[in-house]
Structure 1
Amino acid sequence: MNGQLFTEQVPEPEPVRRRLPGVLRRGIWLAAALLLGVLLGATGYGVYGAHFRPGAAGAVPAAATTSELQADLIAAVQRVSPAVVSIRAGGGLGSGVIYDPSGLILTNAHVVGGARNVSIELADGRRFQARVLGADPGFDLAVLKVDASDLPVAPLGDSSQLQVGQFVAAIGNPYGLDHTVTVGVISALNRPIAGSEAGYTQPMIQTDAAINPGNSGGPLIDLAGNVIGINTLVAAPAGVPAQGLGFAVPVNTAKRIAGQLASQGRVTQSGLPYLGVRITDSGGRATPGVDYGALIVQVEPNGPAAQAGLRAGDVITAVDGHDVYSVDHLLQQLLQHKPGDRVTVQAVRSGQTITVTVTLGEAPSRSG
């Protein structure tokens, strides 16, 4: 295995009810050959309170717990669903969520494409023309604005408080079936995923809640009715969409980027650390006796890695004392840092182990 994973952005399909042809699919790469940067966002875990604790005094019977869980889910969907919008742009269809009463809407950049004006429809049947205030392909996020009053608003949560196994729901418009709800759990956190060739490799939420074409830009919510992510893509090994392997941009990332897009129309500060290398899994190809690690294919001149003395051909085997077995392992380690942090990198060069200290830079903006 070479550390590569094909993924597919959830495109904007034509609505089912009009029987229009075609769903655009774009094969995309995950972090196996990361050109000139390794990127990260803030991390952290918390706990969603459970209704039932085995062995606890006065534990609620399982049947009652199931009933309460269902009630929580229904209430969460009813809280957020009115703020979920259907988006039409360039003949395609996607989803979005109103997050501010002034009419600001979060969605994916690939939903709006290059359009400057799109049409949206609310659950109550109201339709509006929306302006695209800004879109960033690096984070695959966009902010729209509608001039309207009495708009429903979905509350934005805190993705740093998520836990693997937590129940979630995705709301969107797959294949034009508006306000469809699918349910699952958080399968993993901080998966290093790139949404497209132009996209950053950023930590994403992995979920088994069904995400289909048309869900892009819609909210992933918790059982308290808070938006915790923006549904963005599904894994597609060999170009075939996988079941139960969906990914969402964490809402904390979305909030940080939305603020810049709404006020400036572009992202000026990525907030992501920058190593300045192109890497791939080693697999023992470069250095005899080293059958693991991340092989540096290219080093950006004067970048953080170059300034620390790393070279093309070096195999990174550890970061801050933690073994690095592959590109994904390297990214997972770097996800724990931010721009300006100093990290200790161990690498093998011509059979010799070297240790250097790298001061991480900030990834350059990819906004147009």
Structure 2
Amino acid sequence: MGHIDREFHTAPDRQLLDAYSQTISHAVELIGPSVAQITVGANGRGGQGSGFVISPDGLIVTNNHVVADAKSVRVRMQDGVASEARVLGRDPDTDIALIRTDTSLGVAAPLGNSKNLKRGQIAVAIGNPLGFEWTVTAGVISALGRSMRAQNGRLIDDVIQTDAALNPGNSGGPLISSAGEVIGVNTAVIRGAQGIAFAVASNTANYVISEILRFGHVRRAYIGVAADTVALPRHIAVRAGVIAQTSVRIRRLEPDGPAERAGLQEGDLVLSIDDQPVEGVDDLIRLMNGDRINKPTEFLVLPVGNVIAKRVVTPSARP
């Protein structure tokens, strides 16, 4: 009787595990062929990293720190196709770089909308950690809207925290959802920590890619804040006249920066900018583009414990 009971209770568990495995395998089948191994340095003996194709004509996203000032970049795909590549543009502030191969690759990975992510959902990383080619690891999204420092010391906002295992060589590879969309660009691990890894959100990566394709670099307006994505209570959203479940809370202000001079304070919620809703740090990054430099910009904010107010901030060029 006990044997029958054990079979009864374990059958649903097996079904759940099978469904989990099939979900991950399907996502990997969709995105895996677009993941590239990237080698920099003469004769392919330099450092290695990962990347992923976003356009069949050979556009590849990777990390800025993977290609850095490399004189030569070589790309190899899962099917064995290898090609030389050139760097189209780099953005040290987000650790994103865009390269193009000399040959058409015929595969591409779709960029998903990172604004729709939720903590606890499946996250899968594909890359070339420690020289082990096209390795797959899986976990969950641990947190959203994190900030971390890039190698140049600047804060990268809108970072995804995951427990999917990442190691040196995963840098630049895709973090993907169970639907087979790229939701982040794997960028860093905390040395000495257990299972804490990070990826730049896909919406931020998409903005950087578009700027590089248009201008060769990323133009940015500067207001001098560090911020986090936080939940927005419904009663505040109703009062502000916005339809949103999340917003941005100012965590730190640069002394004498444009935001501080305009009267913004630590703890303020930024609800909208020039009547455009701000639902996350990625919106703040996107709206602070080069077109707003030296242009008075209206921020709708909720100061701590006070009523909703408007502040006019005049962004400067990013120093």
Alignment of 1:281-320 (within 5 A): 298-300=255-257, 303-308=258-263, 316=265, 318-320=267-269
Q: Which amino acid aligns with 1:96?
A: G
TM norm structure 2: 0.73
Q: CA deviation at 1:261?
A: 1.2
Paired position in structure 2 for 1:210? 165
Q: What is the RMSD computed on CA atoms of the aligned residues?
A: 3.2
Q: TM-score, normalised by structure 1?
A: 0.64
The equivalent residue for 2:73 is 118
Q: Which has the higher contact order (CA 8 A, sep 6+)?
A: 1
Give CA-to-partner distance per residue, 1:245-268, whole Å, 9 cap, x none. Answer: 111011111111111212321112
Q: 1:174 aligns with which of 125, 129, 140?
A: 129
Spell out the pairing of 1:14-163 with structure 2 (5 A cutoff): 61-90=12-41, 91-115=46-70, 117-163=72-118
AA partner of residue 319 (structure 1): D
Q: What is the alpha-carbon distance in structure 2 between the residues aligned to residue 255 and residue 277 of structure 1?
A: 22
Residues 294 and 128 of structure 1: is their aligned pair in 2 closer, same or farther, counting only changes over 3 Å? closer
Matched, 1:359 2:308: no
Between the aligned partners of 1:211 and 1:76, the Cα distance in structure 2 is 18
Task: From the superposition, tell whether residues 183 and 364 of structure 1 become closer, same or farther in structure 2 (CA, over 3 Å).
Answer: farther
Q: Which amino acid aligns with 1:298?
A: P
What displacement does 1:362 show? Answer: 4.9
Q: Which residue number in structure 2 is paired with residue 185 of structure 1?
A: 140
Unaligned stretches of 5+ residues in structure 2: 1-10, 228-249, 272-278, 289-296
Between the two proteins, the alignment pairs up a number of residues equal to 264
Identity over the aligned pairs, expressed in percent? 38
TM superposition shift of 1:278: 8.9
The Cα of 1:119 is off from its aligned counterpart by: 0.7
Residue equivalent to 2:301: 343
2:214 to 263, 276, 280: 263
Partner of residue 165, structure 1: 120
Cα distance change of structure 1 residues 168 and 195 upon mapping to structure 2, 3 Å threshold = same
Describe the shift of the 1:132–1:162 C-alpha distance in structure 2 as closer, same or farther (beyond 3 A): same
Name the aligned partner's letter for residue 164 of structure 2.
Answer: A
Post-superposition CA distance 1:151-186 (Å, at most 9, x none)? 321222111111100011111111111101111000
Q: Is the 8 A contact 2:225 2:253 kept in 1?
A: yes
Separation (CA, whole Å) in 1 of partners of 2:316 and 2:133: 37
- Aligned residue number for residue 196 of structure 2: 245
Structure 1 297/317 Cα, relative in aligned 2: closer, same or farther at 3 Å?
A: closer
Q: Does the CA contact (< 8 Å) of 2:174 and 2:186 recur in 1? A: yes
Cα deviation for residue 195 of structure 1 reads: 2.1
Distance 1:224 1:334, change over 3 A: closer
Deviations 1:7-50 (A, max 9, x none): xxxxxxxxxxxxxxxxxxxxxxxxxxxxxxxxxxxxxxxxxxxx
Distance 2:110 2:134 in 1: 17
Deviations 1:48-78 (A, max 9, x none): xxxxxxxxxxxx9342232122111111111
Q: Report which of the two has the higher share of helix.
A: 2
Corresponding residue to 2:224 among 276, 282, 302: 276
